[in-house]
Amino acid sequence: MLCMLCNVVLPLLACFVAVKIFEHYWRKRLISSDSLADRYVFITGCDTGFGNRLVRRLDKTTKLRLFAGCLTDKGRADLDKCTSERVQVLPLNVTDHESIETCFKEVTARLPSNKGLWGLVNNAGIIGFSGPLDWVDAKYFEKVIRVNLLGVIDVTMTFLPLVYTGKGRIVNIASSYGRFPFPVAGYTESKFGVEAFSDSLRFHLRSIRSPCGVSILEPGFFRTNLNDPLKLITEINEIFQNMRPEMKEFYKTVDEDYINRLVKDNNDFMDIVSTPNIDLVVDAYEHALTAKWPKKRYSIHWDAKLLWIPMSYMPSFMQDFIITMLCNRKV
Ligand X SMILES: *[C@@H]1O[C@H](CO)[C@@H](O)[C@H](O)[C@H]1NC(C)=O
- Indicate which residues carry an active-site annotation: 187
- Report in angstroms how near the CB of residue 124 gets to ligand X at its nearest: 11
Cβ neighbours around 92 below 10 Å, total: 28
Stretch that binds ligand X, among 39-47, 90-98, 100-108, 113-121 (CB under 6 A): 90-98
Out of 78, 96, 106, 283, the only residue in the binding site for ligand X (CB under 6 A) is 96
Out of 55, 58, 66, 71, the only residue in the binding site for ligand X (CB under 6 A) is 71
Residue type for position 54: L
Nearest to 304 by CA among 226, 223, 221, 199: 221
102 near ligand X (CB under 6 A): no
Residue with Cβ nearer ligand X (96 or 283): 96
Out of 48, 62, 93, 290, the only residue in the binding site for ligand X (CB under 6 A) is 93
- Report in angstroms how near the CB of residue 96 gets to ligand X at its nearest: 4
Q: Is 272 exposed, middle or buried (0-12, 13-18, 19+ CB in 10 A)?
A: exposed
Residue with Cβ nearer ligand X (96 or 199): 96
Measure the CA–CA gap between 128 and 143, rounded to whole angstroms. Answer: 9
95 near ligand X (CB under 6 A): yes
Stretch that binds ligand X, among 75-83, 92-100, 280-288, 301-309 (CB under 6 A): 92-100
User: What is the Cβ-side half-sphere exposure of residue 327, based on CA atoms within 13 angstroms?
Assistant: 17
Q: What is the footprint of ligand X within residues 7-26 (CB under 6 A)?
A: none
150 near ligand X (CB under 6 A): no
Q: Considering Cα of 21, then 25, then 26, then 28, what sign does the dihedral take?
A: positive
The answer to whether 100 touches 148, Cβ cutoff 8 Å, is no
Nearest-10 crossing angle of helices 49-61, 279-290: 50
Stretch that binds ligand X, among 19-27, 48-56, 93-101, 228-236 (CB under 6 A): 93-101
60 CA to centre of own chain: 22
Binding site for ligand X (CB under 6 A): 71, 93, 95-96
